[in-house]
Amino acid sequence: MALAPTRVEEKLRERFPDVAFERQQGEAVRDHTLYVPAEALVDVCTYLRDEPECAFTMLSWMGGADYLPRVPRFECVYSLLSIQHAARFTLKVRVPEEQPRVPTVCDVWPTANWHEREAYDFYGITFTGHPDLTRILLPEDWVGWPLRKDSPLGYEEVAFTHNTPGRIKPSPALKKLAPKKVRYRAQ
């Protein structure tokens, strides 16, 4: 029997009566989505994974989103998958701009590791307790959070040695290897 997302929500409300869950409302919110306060995230996820009736043993993906100018600005989306019941469930966490911090779910699902690194890389959301929170797709020395809405798409100067201070200049010895200029005499 398929597991209905409403049943999952019921179970959650039963198990965590003190947590302020909130169902996402909207004209075209196609998947059943539940907002969870950041403090309760790890407990809720552990429960959803271990409760046999839910058995969300896999985290399909997680990602960030920027809703500038809305307050709180960011959201983290967790898409859970239960192989046993062939069901999906979406959790969301609101993240404020001043302190973009969310507890990591790496201990619940190890696969969250790279997804959280990606969300950090793109949005600058920090995941407290993450074992290795570094940039994953962008270079380590990149400055800024490219998927934030206030980050420009492009039209920036391309970095070359001459316009990037601190870039290692080629050694003068290399010049010797450069081909000599050949002048052709006009006939």
- The binding site for other proteins (CB under 8 A) comprises 26-31, 33, 57-61, 63, 65-67, 77, 79, 83, 86, 88, 90, 109-111, 113-115, 122, 135-139, 146-147, 153
Q: Cβ 153 to other proteins, closest distance in Å?
A: 6
Verify cis geometry, omega within 30 degrees of 0, for the bond prior to 69: yes
Question: CA-to-CA distance for 76 and 104, rounded, in angstroms?
Answer: 11
Residue 95 main-chain phi, psi, to 5 deg: -125, 125
CB of 182 to other proteins, least distance (A): 33
Report the C-alpha gap between 154 and 143 in whole angstroms. 14
Closest by CA to 68, choosing from 149, 146, 187, 154, is 149
CB-count burial class (<10 Å; 0-12, 13-18, 19+) for 147: middle
Q: Which residues pair with 49 in a beta bridge?
A: none
Judged by CB, which is closer to other proteins: 16, or 136?
136
In terms of CB distance, is 25 or 171 closer to other proteins?
25
38/136 with CB nearer other proteins: 136
Q: Least distance to other proteins from the beta carbon of 83, Å?
A: 5
CB of 71 to other proteins, least distance (A): 16
Tell me how far apart the alpha carbons of residues 23 and 113 are, in angstroms, rounded to a whole number: 26
For other proteins, the closer CB: 38 or 138: 138
SS3 call for 11: helix
Least Å distance, CB 142 to other proteins, is 10
Instruction: Rank residues 30 and 180 by Cβ distance to other proteins and give the closer one.
Output: 30
